[in-house]
Chain A
Amino acid sequence: MIRSMKGLVKALALGLAAACSLAAISSANAEELSLKGKRIGVSAIGTDHYWDLMAFKGIQDRVKELGGEVIALDAGRKDQQQIAQLQTLIAQKPDAIIEQLGNLEVLNPWLQKIRDAGIPLFTVDTATPHAINNTTSNNYNIGAEIALQMVADMGGKGNVLVFNGFYSVPVCKIRYDQLKYVLTSFPDVKIVEPELRDVIPNTVQSAYSNVTDMLTKSPEKGSIGAVWACWDVPQIGATQAVEAAGRTEVKTYGIDGSPEVIKMVMDPKSSAGAVAAQQPYEIGKTSVDNAAKYLAGQKVPPFTFVPSVLINKENAAEKGKPFLDAAEKAGVK
């Protein structure tokens, strides 16, 4: 416990230092790092979401940039397929494996097998004891920040519709737990029970109809103050539903920073209140750098945080643009 606290403090300090000298370090390391002659296996549960696709692309681009060969596997959101791909991947004996998201309960025994086979394992946005390094955003911060923004916009009281369909996904668990923790200080903000379930696929449509139903159930204006989701695809459906119902007093909150949602937050008339924008492409690239460092015999911390930015109604015009530019540059819509 104490050790992990120490580790956290150390990592936060490291992250701060790294952020300060980010430009200097990355240009210096880029020349040293190499994956020449190395094969890197990459397994992603799916790439149907902006975040997933950007991270998956960042990993592949970086491996190629460093001269390595990449075995890229997209499980198409099917657990069975991801397990089969990992099993075959272990037999292929790559120099390292980078795993991106998925159901931890399903994955953990197989991640263990990767380590048992002596293959270094790195993860993207997936906290597991089996990984040498997990590269991700600081989801503790993100979760607290978006929750505080929501509470502030609500004036410290009101009812919140919460999508909680992916508590088994580690980052969603952290963000949801942070939301709950923040709300302990604001007893007048209440989560409407039962919570809503976001789903994959048909996330937007399903969120739209869920929120529409709830608004119909609570027809008085002001009876619902906000909608929260641990990612931003349900936020799209929720925002559309709120606007269609003419209940613009309800604001929506989400995490990830898909270009579509950033544009919504930038639009002063939209009900999208805020979104915590991550840098998935950078996260993917950074995880490859960590793998390259490890393979070169350097020490690698157990986790690396890539900075994220809270985009709200006040700062959207200024802060949103760089993210939209990055998306355009990577050629991902």
Chain B
Amino acid sequence: MSASVLHTEVGVSDEKQAVAKSAGRRFGALVVRLGAIAAFAAIMAYFVIFAPGFTSTFNLINVVEQSAILGVLAYGMTAVIIGGGSDVTEGGIDLSIAANMGLCAAVYATLLSMGYGDFLSVLAAIAVGMAVGALNALAVVGFGILPLLATLAVLNVAAGMELTLTQNTVVGASSPLLGVLVSGSFLGISALAWALIVFSAIMIVVVHGTSFGLRLYAVGGHPEAARAAGISVPFYVSFTYVLSGFCAAVASILTVSRLSASTPGSGELLLSVLAAALLGTVFSRRFVPTMGGTLLSVLFIGLLANGFQLLNVSSYWVNGVQGALILLVVAITSFARGSEGSR
């Protein structure tokens, strides 16, 4: 909210003519955005009516549980996009986040299987995740490489390190912490679902309820203005990549608990993570990524797969629909941004 106020103030300095011209397009974008939300709502309504068992508490908690890992990763991605700006080609993006999770999971599972306790193994996983994040930060902020390319390179580094560590095998893991995550529950809600709820609450409060979050939006929205206002842009941008690495580490612990092992192929999650972060922008008035929007789209992606299965529609459709939605949202976003670009 406050971020959008700041953004508007920046916009006030624009020429009046351009403002008037963009107002029309902005209205168009609003219509398309509401259309997208209506499409989301229509799909959900269809599931509620036709998918047997869709609305049962048990099923909904299942979906929250299934969304936990994707959610934590998507928050990392969202933070990077907020801090780096949401321009798809030159803005912030962390392509290494899923591979980083794979590496952290491998480190965590390997250390556990070597007999190190939870405390040390978790600490190591988080350290590795943040180190990979710091490497991204160094490449993007230090060397000034395009985030798209820098994080693509780091993706390969992380994936290679994971392969070296695990030799592309499944590393089984069990520990007291994993036991709690697998079978623990509180108020009828499982530990994994709680992990998503608590993590979401923290991210929403930090990004949308503090002056830190406000400055983060300023850095991503208009770096020059932020710099002029005395905000250290490099620090904030670097911070988002390290935070993203932290999210990858947290997600890795959740994933090891869910699969009772670290397994190859974590990189496959990247598309869903990107989808969640990008889809989330339609829930914001100015098409900027928000933590709440990301949460909604993560749950939407989870409900989509779930609803299709309950309707006995082939799972092959899920990918297709997900891809179509990304295309739609990116189209809408570019359309809305077109109005700003023309000023």
* Contacts from A to B (Cβ < 8 Å): 69, 71-81, 83-85, 87-89, 91-92, 103, 105-106, 108-109, 165, 167-168, 197, 199
- List 6 A-B pairs, minimum CB-CB distance, nearest first: A84-B66, A168-B170, A106-B259, A105-B172, A105-B261, A79-B263
Interface residues of B, dominant DSSP: helix
- Determine the distance from Cα of A19 to Cα of B314 in the docked complex, in whole angstroms: 36
Q: Give the size category of B's interface with A.
A: 35 or more
| Inter-chain contact A71/B309, CB cutoff 8 Å | yes
| B89 interface hit (Cβ, 8 Å) | no
Does B310 lie within 8 Å of A88, measured CB to CB? Answer: yes
Q: Is the Cβ of B170 less than 8 Å from the Cβ of A92?
A: no
- Stretch of B19-27, B51-59, B195-203 with 4 or more beta carbons under 8 angstroms from chain A: B51-59
Q: Contact between A105 and B260 (Cβ–Cβ < 8 Å)?
A: yes
Give the nearest-CB partner of A73 in chain B.
Answer: B315
> Are B269 and A80 interface neighbours, CB within 8 A?
yes
CB closest chain-B residue, reference A109: B260
Which of B167, B259, B309 contacts A89, CB < 8 Å? B309
Known interface pairs A87-B66, A91-B59, A92-B53; A80-B258 also in contact (CB < 8 Å):
yes
CB <8 Å contact, A92 and B260: no
Cβ of A92: which chain B residues have Cβ within 8 Å of it?
52-53, 309-310
User: Residue of A at shortest CB range from B258?
Assistant: A83
Q: Check A103–B65 contact: CB distance below 8 A.
A: no
Contact of A199 (CB < 8 Å), options: B52, B168, B306: B168
| Pairwise interchain contact A91-B58, C-beta atoms closer than 8 A | yes
Residues of A within 8 A of B310 (CB): 88, 92
The residues of A that contact B261 with a CB separation of less than 8 Å are 103, 105-106
B36 at the interface (CB under 8 A from A): no
Do A105 and B170 form a contact, CB below 8 Å, given A71-B309, A85-B309, A91-B59? Answer: yes
Judging by beta carbons under 8 Å apart, are B269 and A167 in contact? no
Q: Are A106 and B260 in contact (CB under 8 A)?
A: yes
Within 8 Å of chain A (Cβ to Cβ): is B268? yes
Q: Which residue of A lies closest to B63 (CB)?
A: A88
User: What's the Cα separation between A92 and B58 when bound, in Å?
Assistant: 11
Q: How far is the CA of A74 from the CA of B315 in the complex (A)?
A: 7
Q: A83-B258, A105-B261 are in contact. Are A88 and B62 (CB under 8 A)?
A: yes
Contacts of A79 in B (CB 8 A): 259, 263, 265
Q: For chain B, residues 248 to 295, give those with C-beta under 8 angstroms from any C-beta of chain A.
A: 255, 258-261, 263-265, 268-269
Contact B315 A85 (CB under 8 A): yes
Interface residues of B in 49-100 (CB under 8 A from A): 52-53, 56, 58-59, 62, 65-66, 69
A91 touches B255 (CB 8 A): no
Q: A83-B258, A105-B172, A167-B169 are in contact. Are A88 and B263 (CB under 8 A)?
A: no
User: Using Cβ atoms and an 8 Å threshold, which residues of chain B touch A87?
Assistant: 62, 65-66
Contacts of A73 in B (CB 8 A): 309, 315
Q: Are A88 and B172 in contact (CB under 8 A)?
A: no
Q: How far is the CA of A103 from the CA of B262 in the complex (A)?
A: 11
Question: How long is the Cα–Cα vector from A76 to B320 in the complex, in angstroms?
Answer: 13
| 21 chain-A/chain-B pairs, Cβ below 8 angstroms | A69-B312, A73-B315, A74-B316, A77-B265, A78-B268, A80-B255, A80-B258, A83-B258, A83-B259, A84-B66, A85-B309, A87-B62, A88-B59, A88-B66, A92-B52, A92-B309, A92-B310, A103-B261, A106-B261, A106-B263, A167-B169
